[in-house]
Amino acid sequence: MITPKNHINFRALKIADDIDDEIMDCAVAYIEPQGGGPLPDHTHEHDHLFTVISGEIEIRMENETFALASGESLRVPGRKRHSVWNVSERLAKVLGVSLR
């Protein structure tokens, strides 16, 4: 497991890499309470599809905030400034898929 640069109390386990023409990679993030990242919010070329496996997260995207609970998903356009945070009192597990 790794902690991505500029993330706090956030560990990620890569599941697969370079899957096909649409999917770059996927990983499970283990985000402790009040953890997340990156700081500051960032942008990049690829999109993310985040699905909450357990817990609750908040996705900050541009001037909006999206609350997601277990079983909920959100596609985040990579060109919009964004970050992911655990706003609950327990560990959040999130599947992240990077889309080309």
pTM for this prediction:
0.94
Report how far Cα 66 is from the mean position of its chain's Cα atoms.
Answer: 12
Closest by Cα among 21, 96, 22 to 57 = 96
Rounded alpha-carbon distances, angstroms, from residue 48 to 32, 89, 97: 20, 25, 5
Closest by Cα among 39, 78, 44 to 61 = 78
Per-residue pLDDT tens for 31-81? 999 999 999 999 999 999 999 999 999 999 999 999 999 999 999 999 999
> What CATH number did the domain enclosing 32 receive?
2.60.120.10
User: Domain span at residue 13?
Assistant: 8-86
Number of domains in the chain: 1
Residue 95, domain member (yes or no): no
Q: Does a cis peptide bond (omega within 30 degrees of 0) precede residue 33?
A: no
Residue 97, domain member (yes or no): no
